[in-house]
Amino acid sequence: MATADQDGLVRRGFGRVRGLSRRLIDHPLPWLLPTLVALGVFQLYPMIEAVTMSLTDESLIRQGSEFVGLDQYTRLLSDPEFYEMLRITAIYAFSSVILHVLLGLVLALAIDYGVRRGLHGHLTTRVSVLLAWIVPGIIIGLVWKVMLVETEFGAVNHFLGLLGIGPIPFRSDPQLALVSTIIAGTWRGTAFSMIMIYGGLQRVPQRLYEAARVDGAGRWARFRHVTLPQLKPVLFVTTVLVTIYALNTFDLIFALTGGGPGRATQVLSLFMYEEAFEKYALGRGAAIAVVMLCINLLLTGVYLYMFDIGDEI
């Protein structure tokens, strides 16, 4: 009798364990927990540490630090060089976002058209564009640096010389140096926009295009009233991510121009690196990083308002 009762207790215990296991498997928390832990360790903790450090005078060349409150931000906002670098960053980021999204949209539409029409070469086009994205930014910067050598030995100036033009000071002229960094960044980053938008195009129901054709809509009307509204959530995400990428671009510009000539291409990310790791002022570098984070968050809010997709995400 006692054995039967014990067996019943064991079976009920196993049943409870199985029921608990099923509830855990069905609950999203166990599946999200590894990602949440990774985000907390590698994203949230460094972010909190950066904010904390920005309130101190932490330095790499002395021990200890003192709490200075908002003094780092006050000094930063009263520095004329900061506003000049903010202007350069705005020009670079705004130009990059516009070019990345527009060229990515054009490429995605062209590839989608080729796939739907069974044209040859669309796979080669996708692979060619993706090659620029998978190469590290520091390598891209070095490649463009070699291509833009300001003598006839540079690839670009060599071909321009065949046309009777040049040599052009792509990296030593302040305006041309900034344009060169924008072009190099666009050459690399357009692939990401193309991937995102091409994926969004695959989600557009074909019946919407068929209905638009029945109603007599031409290609432009179908693009304006069918394609763009359906792509709005994808364009929002793409624009946000491209903006973050552009605002935080460091490796490509560091390798291509190093922020020069002078400070003509000195974006905020290079300014932060210079303050933190060349002048060893970690507190000031952290303050610049926090300002960049606030700019990213502000622009994301602006995009949310512009794209008006609060009900779609």
Q: Rg of the Cα trace of the chain?
A: 27
82: which 2 tokens?
């900061």
37 contact partners, CB below 8 Å, separation of at least 6: none
Residue 113: per-residue pLDDT = 83
Q: Is 51 exposed, middle or buried (0-12, 13-18, 19+ CB in 10 A)?
A: middle
Q: Give the three-state DSSP class for 56.
A: strand
Residue 121: per-residue pLDDT = 65
| pTM score | 0.85
Q: Give the three-state DSSP class for 253.
A: helix
> What CATH number does the domain located at 73-307 have?
1.10.3720.10
| DSSP one-letter string for 94-144 | HHHHHHHHHHHHHHHHHHHHHHHHT-TTHHHHHHHHHHHHHS-HHHHHHHH
Category of 58 on φ-ψ map: left (φ > 0), alpha (ψ -120 to 50) or beta: beta
Low-confidence ranges of the chain (pLDDT < 70): 1-21, 23-24, 121-123, 309-313
Residue 167: is the preceding peptide bond cis (ω within 30°)? yes
Residue 4: per-residue pLDDT = 52
CA distances 226 to 55, 201, 206, Å, are 50, 11, 10
pLDDT tens per residue, range 98-145:
999 999 999 888 888 887 777 776 667 777 777 777 888 888 899 899
* Sequence ranges of the domains in the chain: 73-307
Residue 137: per-residue pLDDT = 86
Residue 285: per-residue pLDDT = 92
288 contact partners, CB below 8 Å, separation of at least 6: 76, 268, 271, 272, 275
Q: Evaluate whether 306 touches 97 at the Cβ level (below 8 Å).
A: no
Q: How many helices (H) and strands (E) does the chain have?
A: 15, 0
